[in-house]
Structure 1
Amino acid sequence: MNNLLSFYRDQLQRNLLPFWLRALDRTRGGVYTCYNNEGTELLSTDKFTWSQGRFVWILSRLADLCERGVLDERSPGGQAAMYLEHAGKTVRFLMEHVFLKNGNCAYVLTETGEKKELIPGQGYDLSFYADCFVVLGLTEFARVAGDRDVLERALQLYGSIERRLQAGKIRSEPYPVPDGYVSQSFAMIMLNVSQELAEALERAGHPNGAGIRSRSLYYMNEIMDKFVDGDDLLAELLPIDGRDGDTLLARQIAPGHSIECMWFVMKEARKLGLSETAGKAARVAKKAFDIGWDPIYGGLYRYVDRGGGEPQGRMIGDRYEALICDTWDMKIWWPHSEALYTFLLSYDLTQDSQFLDLYSRMHDYAFRTFPHPDPAIGEWIQIRDRQGVPIQKTVALPVKDPYHIMRNVLLTIELLDEKASATSTNASD
């Protein structure tokens, strides 16, 4: 485990951080993300709110790990003051520019902060996911910086999101939910937002901490009770009419999304002392790996049928079907980074060695496939075909997103550092 801790610290400091530190907008705040897949060309200086909020989270957590000594202050990963300063600058950029008159967040801004319509005539607030990632960024910055005003702004935006969800007034680009279906991704993102906001509120002694924690439990239970079936499969979409259970939309499983969702559940279950729920979540993550792993080329398929293999089922003519059919066998970066952390966390919670075996298989595939071969560029070449060959394709936003890899590397470093510290303490005792 100590060797693995050193490995991840090295990946962060030598491969990931150098790329993203070059991408900072040091004048206005924020980060440039509209690169080609190889990371060699900046195609646009537009700032997608989704990625800006996520990067505030990354910078704030980096600062926190440096301050706690988990990352070495003398290394490129140890510049705590710089990380927090740029996180604050990005927070101010968002606070000044991202909010619309209705309180929602604009989906995309120009380099200088002007709001843009990504789809002409469709308005600025295309997706509540953007709002969610702003909440996550503001929350983590407020927690690390001890900024009560920013924490209150995050809480206000969270309330706005919940009201929209309850009223059914939600837009969710780039993945609009087809008519006649409900999506587990709504509960999934709200679980993550709620648990992080609750943590920050509780640490600050805020009176709303207990209420938001109860919302975390609500969303966790919705996922596990409503979307996980008796075969430990997590459905992406559930048809409102049971007769539509034969459709491709109802039958498709997203293995990487399932795995990511389950570490959210495991984290909350551990916080609340719900060991049975944590164990079930670990089983769901394993089932997602089993059904999603490509036995020929390795790696996780993007989508599979609930029976395994290529998605199938009755088509209804929705554009989400086209996305599934067009990209189902692609190997993209984020599911693999999510699986690396999830299987280590699963082992930590269950002590079941099968999760170390799954981790090992994923580690071997991910680190021989995704990291850029040119260390002068760094990062991962994120989007690949089934055989692992890089391709130029947009799979969500037209960005090289900084979130999943670094978030999971940071979470893994935290987890391994905790284990190393506990081992050292036990040895000295």
Structure 2
Amino acid sequence: MSVVKLEQCRERICAELDSVVDFWLKYSHDTVHGGFFTCIGRDGKVYDELKYVWLQGRQVWMYCRLYRTMDRFHKPEILEAAKAGGTFLRRFARVSSSSGQWKCAFCLTRDGKAVKVQRTIFSECFYIMAMDELSRVTDDKDMQLEAEQMMEQLIHWVRVDPSGLGRPQLPGDIPTNSMAVPMMLLCLVQQLTEGRGQEVAQKYSELGSWCVQQILQHIQRGGTAILENVSVDGAELLGCQGRLQNPGHALEAGWFLLRYSADWGDEEIRRTAIEKFVELPYQCGWDKQHSGLFYFLDVDGHCPTQLEWSMKLWWPHCEALIAFLMAYRYTKKPDLLETFLQVYEYTFSHFPDSKNSEWFGYLAQDGKVALDFKGGPFKGFFHVPRCLYMCELLLNDLLAKKD
């Protein structure tokens, strides 16, 4: 790919990031109760006032990351929005569980009353991300400590005693290593240790290594497939759950592993990340008829039971863009850059809304828009801006070294 083409990609990505940020600054802020509206229609109108804690935390994190690391987003309105979101989270997101431990709600009313609590760790994960990143731009040590304390609670739930999550151990329920859990914990390790010095890095080094080994257990079928769920000892599970593949998730794991390999200088992890978690998911997940990445697949070719399995969703394509560009940055293999370009062309010709800004999230298999809202219970200000932000930084680095 020519330097000119890379510069064109960067120009489009920069423009899209500016547009997406403007959309959420304009339409998502609740100036009455704090926090953010995330159920936003095609034209920016709020169609539901429920507030989802995952998305509240993600938006605080994304605002803070842009404010802290990109000069053009170092604006008072972005910082103030992040602070308001953080205040809303600290005031309302945490609820006391049946075990007496703090859980985070999944969903809140507009004014902060808990509606639903999930028996998972993910609301807490995005709370930690938000608090840690916000502490970096406000220099609030109490907030940083709060993030670290909740991290310790998560580690206890995952590795020692899951009873605090409220999930009873049923006789037919087989303990499972779902890739989402070690992936998310590895993301948090990288968040909490970034720029904090050697002492903090060592504090979480064992956990980071454990997360990597848990992720690597998902390499199955003699290295020919990444499966979403395996047993706790790394064996393939029976049935639909065991055969499930999620190409977008595997690609996201791929660039998490690439960051880990860069932090620790681990060449073997780097090779495995690229060969197994970047190239394999693309090979199996790319729709050869209509293009784009399938949402779910069955490793044995059965029809997946998820009704949306053949749809093309925004976030797997975002993860693919990051993964292939990052893999190319570390290897300079031309085929990785060519695949990045293929994903780029599909993504930018299908997901962005040229009329109203932001991206559609849910396409049918043939690429037509199936759901036309810009935000919902799971799509907020995160995957799109994170992808654009990271790709801009990667392209800046590549183009600075183009000679």
How big is each residue's C-alpha offset from its partner over 1:161-205, in whole Å with a ceiling of 9 and x where there is no partner? Answer: 1111121237599xxxx9323312111111111111121543xx7
Aligned residue in 1 for 2:153? 160
Q: Point out the more displaced range, 339-348 or 299-308.
A: 299-308
Aligned residue in 2 for 1:5? 10
Does the 8 Å CA contact 2:68/2:74 hold for their aligned counterparts?
no
Aligned residue in 2 for 1:82? 77
Please tell me whether residue 210 in structure 1 is matched to residue 202 in structure 2.
yes
Secondary structure (helix, strand or coil) at the match of 1:9 reads helix
Q: 1:92 is matched by which residue type in structure 2?
A: T
Secondary structure (helix, strand or coil) at the match of 1:169 reads helix
Aligned residue in 1 for 2:58? 54
Taking a change above 3 Å as real, the CA distance of residues 243 and 201 of structure 1, as seen in their structure-2 partners, is: closer
Alignment of 1:242-391 (within 5 A): 245-284=237-276, 285-307=278-300, 310-311=303-304, 322=305, 324=306, 326-374=307-355, 377-391=356-370
Shift of 1:238: 1.3
Runs of 5+ unmatched residues, structure 2: 1-5
Taking a change above 3 Å as real, the CA distance of residues 79 and 25 of structure 1, as seen in their structure-2 partners, is: farther
Runs of 5+ unmatched residues, structure 1: 118-123, 312-321
**Length, aligned pairs only:** 384
Secondary structure (helix, strand or coil) at the match of 2:380 reads coil
Shift of 1:257: 0.6
2:69 counterpart (65, 71, 74): 65
Shift of 1:11: 0.9
Q: 2:161 is matched by which residue type in structure 1?
A: A
Shift of 1:26: 3.4
Shift of 1:21: 0.9
Taking a change above 3 Å as real, the CA distance of residues 171 and 372 of structure 1, as seen in their structure-2 partners, is: farther
Aligned residue in 1 for 2:113? 114
1:189 counterpart (184, 191, 195): 184
Does the 8 Å CA contact 1:107/1:127 hold for their aligned counterparts?
no
Shift of 1:393: 9.4
Shift of 1:85: 2.0
Secondary structure (helix, strand or coil) at the match of 1:238 reads strand
The TM-score normalised by the length of structure 2 is 0.88
Taking a change above 3 Å as real, the CA distance of residues 170 and 359 of structure 1, as seen in their structure-2 partners, is: farther
Secondary structure (helix, strand or coil) at the match of 1:100 reads strand
Taking a change above 3 Å as real, the CA distance of residues 407 and 358 of structure 1, as seen in their structure-2 partners, is: same
The TM-score normalised by the length of structure 1 is 0.83
Aligned residue in 2 for 1:24? 29
Taking a change above 3 Å as real, the CA distance of residues 277 and 42 of structure 1, as seen in their structure-2 partners, is: same
Q: Equivalents in 2 of 1:110, 1:421: separation in Å?
A: 47
Q: Equivalents in 2 of 1:172, 1:370: separation in Å?
A: 38
Q: Point out the more displaced range, 97-106 or 265-274.
A: 97-106
Aligned residue in 2 for 1:142? 135
Could you list the runs of 4 or more consecutive aligned residues of structure 1 that deviate by over 6 angstroms after TM superposition?
A: 240-244
Secondary structure (helix, strand or coil) at the match of 1:189 reads helix
Taking a change above 3 Å as real, the CA distance of residues 244 and 58 of structure 1, as seen in their structure-2 partners, is: closer
Does the 8 Å CA contact 1:291/1:308 hold for their aligned counterparts?
no
The sequence identity of aligned pairs, in percent, is 25
Taking a change above 3 Å as real, the CA distance of residues 390 and 3 of structure 1, as seen in their structure-2 partners, is: closer
Q: 2:23 is matched by which residue type in structure 1?
A: F
Shift of 1:125: 4.7
Q: 2:354 is matched by which residue type in structure 1?
A: P
Q: Equivalents in 1 of 2:25, 2:235: separation in Å?
A: 51
Does the 8 Å CA contact 2:254/2:273 hold for their aligned counterparts?
yes
Q: 2:280 is matched by which residue type in structure 1?
A: K
Q: Equivalents in 1 of 2:236, 2:287: separation in Å?
A: 28
Does the 8 Å CA contact 1:31/1:52 hold for their aligned counterparts?
yes
Please tell me whether residue 411 in structure 1 is matched to residue 390 in structure 2.
yes
Shift of 1:49: 0.5
Q: Equivalents in 1 of 2:267, 2:233: separation in Å?
A: 34
